Amino acid sequence: MAQIQQQLITITQKATEEIKNLLTKNKKESFRIRVVEGGCSGHKYIFELEEKPSKNDEVIQQEGIKVLIDQESIKFLKSSTVDYIETLENSGFKISNPNAKSSCGCGSSFGV
């Protein structure tokens, strides 16, 4: 599996392709990853399409995509891997986060 390494996070080739498809289909310029309070384990990931970065965003550019991460979320995402998975049951972005101390059974939230 090809991966593109960034200082903050790793975005797999599959995730890069899916982000590129979403941006093209929705005519947006950027893909945002945020960490917010919520979910059964304390924090959850939010994925959004946006036009442009905010002034305090970290911008990761690779293969024609821009991934935005705000300064608060960077604390939780450092050294994480973003992948896109497809199974018979579901498909979507998956983050493997070494900073998470716990996660919920459904995999949509984590604790630190």
The pLDDT tens digits for 44-72 are 889 999 999 999 999 999 899 999 999 99
CA geometry: angle at 50 spanning 47 and 51, to 5°? 165
Residue 40's pLDDT band, with cuts at 50, 70 and 90, is low
> E strands along 6-79, which residues?
9-12, 30-37, 43-50, 58-62, 65-69
Q: In this structure, what are the phi and psi dihedrals at residue 81, rounded to the nearest 5 degrees?
A: -115, 130
Structure confidence at residue 88 (pLDDT) = 86
User: For the residues 5-20, what does the mean pLDDT come to?
Assistant: 86
User: For the residues 26-49, what does the mean pLDDT come to?
Assistant: 88
Q: What element of type H or E holds 25?
A: helix 13-26
Domains and CATH numbers, the chain: 3-111 (2.60.300.12)
First CA to last CA distance, the chain:
28
